[in-house]
């Protein structure tokens, strides 16, 4: 099976109804406002639902994603012309360009193996002085994958009836799970098999990985209302804000 989760036009067409605007998007918008961000990069912007809502007067917004089907929808959406769209991954982030780099919708978990440290180095290079990286990831201690396998069920979508079934593996030694799904668009008479891999990382691993790229955690929240994360298994979400380690050190020296 190939990974077509984000490369298929029918799956891209139903992405927004499965992943609507909500408190996560509010959080990223508020962070942009609090930082008075003049330039925002949305890495793994997908269909651009959040991306376009972050644009505004006096602000540059750049959306980057490797999936053409997602990016085409992003560019075509209302407000799409206010954003610069780039097809690719983090190497397209310009040096010293961004006051805020976001990876919403668990993008970080899609970036596996050696691509993850390389992505963090590109992000570090792309942050302006005082710039912030913000992203969420799932806490492996909460073992969310245990609930992801589902027998075949049918629902109505914007592109007709969809029968879907999901089988999820336990994590391997790197914390990578594989989610295999069969997606049958009954009215379009198209069946799409998707094999998706996601990497679960503990908070300690995230902190180490960020540190190795020259980034330091400034906050970690357990929810979109900014409740501090304590590291327990009943906190499924980790929302991480990181800054350049030089900036973090400077701030500490001043206090
Ligand atoms: C779950 S979607 C999230 C989309 C959007 N950020 C949101 O909040 O809905 C994950 C996205 O990550 C993108 N992606 C996968 N690998 C990536 C990588 N190495 N760098 C950047 N984006 C990547 C996918 O193409 C997909 O659009």
* CATH number assigned to the domain comprising residue 80: 3.40.50.150
Q: Which atom of ligand 1 is nearest to the CA of 25?
A: 8
- Residue 106 CB less than 6 A away from ligand 1: yes
* C-beta of residue 197 within 8 angstroms of C-beta of residue 175: no
- Residue 11 CB less than 6 A away from ligand 1: no
Residue 120 and residue 51 in one domain: yes
Q: Tell me: the pLDDT tens digits for 80-115? A: 999 999 999 999 999 999 999 999 999 999 999 999
Residue 131 and residue 226 in one domain: yes
What residues contact residue 197 under an 8 Å CB cut-off, 6+ apart? 3, 112, 176, 177, 178, 179
Q: Does 128 fall in a domain?
A: yes
What residues contact residue 61 under an 8 Å CB cut-off, 6+ apart? 39, 40, 41, 42, 51, 52, 54, 55, 82, 83, 84
**Atom 19, ligand 1: residue with shortest CA distance:** 111
**Atom 22, ligand 1: residue with shortest CA distance:** 44
Q: Which atom of ligand 1 is nearest to the CA of 103?
A: 6
Q: For residue 49, what are its two tokens? A: 């639902």
**Atom 25, ligand 1: residue with shortest CA distance:** 67
**Atom 23, ligand 1: residue with shortest CA distance:** 44
- Residue 117 CB less than 6 A away from ligand 1: no
CA 4 / ligand 1 centre spacing (Å): 12
- Residue 45 CB less than 6 A away from ligand 1: yes
**Atom 15, ligand 1: residue with shortest CA distance:** 110
Q: Tell me: the pLDDT tens digits for 144-188? A: 999 999 999 999 999 999 999 999 999 999 999 999 999 999 999
Residue 87 and residue 118 in one domain: yes
* C-beta of residue 15 within 8 angstroms of C-beta of residue 104: no
Domain that holds residue 194: 142-199
Q: How far apart are CA 214 and CA 124, in angstroms?
A: 7
Residue 186 and residue 69 in one domain: no
CA 249 / ligand 1 centre spacing (Å): 31
Q: What is the mean pLDDT of the chain?
A: 95
Q: Residue 1 — very low, low, confident or very high, per pLDDT cuts 50/70/90?
A: very low
Is pLDDT at 255 greater than 70 in this prediction?
no
Residue 63 and residue 155 in one domain: no
pLDDT of residue 249: 64
Residue 184 and residue 91 in one domain: no
Is pLDDT at 59 greater than 80 in this prediction?
yes
Q: For residue 202, what are its two tokens? A: 């503990």
- Residue 149 CB less than 6 A away from ligand 1: no
Q: How many domains does the chain have?
A: 2
- Residue 162 CB less than 6 A away from ligand 1: no
Residue 128 and residue 249 in one domain: yes
Q: How far apart are CA 54 and CA 71, in angstroms?
A: 16
Residue 177 and residue 82 in one domain: no
* C-beta of residue 119 within 8 angstroms of C-beta of residue 88: no
Q: Does 3 fall in a domain?
A: no
Residue 152 and residue 68 in one domain: no
Q: Tell me: the pLDDT tens digits for 201-250? A: 999 999 999 999 999 999 999 999 999 999 999 999 999 999 999 876 66
Residue 110 and residue 150 in one domain: no
Give pTM, 2 decimals. Answer: 0.96
- Residue 236 CB less than 6 A away from ligand 1: no
CA 30 / ligand 1 centre spacing (Å): 21
Q: Residue 2 — very low, low, confident or very high, per pLDDT cuts 50/70/90?
A: very low
User: If we measure between CA atoms, which residue out of 10, 22, 17, 56 comes closest to residue 37?
Assistant: 56
Across 72-85, average pLDDT: 98
Q: For residue 164, what are its two tokens? A: 């879907």
Residue 80 and residue 164 in one domain: no
Residue 28 and residue 154 in one domain: no
């Amino acid at each position: 099976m190939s990974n077509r989760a984000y490369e298929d036009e029918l799956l891209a067409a139903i992405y927004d109804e499965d992943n609507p605007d909500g408190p996560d998007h509010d959080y990223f918008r508020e962070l942009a406002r609090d930082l008075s961000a003049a330039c925002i990069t949305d890495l793994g912007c997908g269909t651009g639902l959040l991306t376009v809502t972050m644009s505004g007067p006096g602000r540059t917004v750049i959306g980057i994603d490797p999936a053409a089907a997602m990016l085409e929808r992003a560019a075509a959406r209302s407000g799409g012309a206010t954003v610069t769209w780039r097809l690719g991954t983090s190497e397209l982030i310009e040096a010293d360009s961004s006051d805020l780099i976001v990876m919403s919708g668990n993008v970080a978990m899609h970036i596996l193996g050696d691509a993850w440290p390389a992505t963090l180095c590109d992000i570090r290079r792309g942050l302006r002085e005082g710039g912030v990286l913000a992203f969420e990831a799932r806490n492996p201690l909460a073992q969310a994958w245990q609930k992801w396998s589902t027998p075949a069920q049918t629902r109505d979508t914007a592109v007709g009836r969809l029968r879907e079934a999901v089988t999820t593996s336990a994590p391997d030694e790197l914390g990578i799970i594989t989610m295999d799904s069969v997606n049958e668009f009954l009215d379009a008479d198209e069946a799409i098999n998707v094999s998706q891999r996601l990497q679960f990382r503990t908070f300690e691993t995230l902190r180490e990985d960020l540190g190795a790229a020259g980034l330091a955690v400034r906050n970690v929240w357990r929810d979109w209302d900014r409740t501090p994360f304590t590291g327990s298994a009943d906190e499924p979400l980790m929302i991480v804000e990181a800054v350049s380690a030089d900036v973090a050190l400077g701030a500490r020296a001043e206090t």
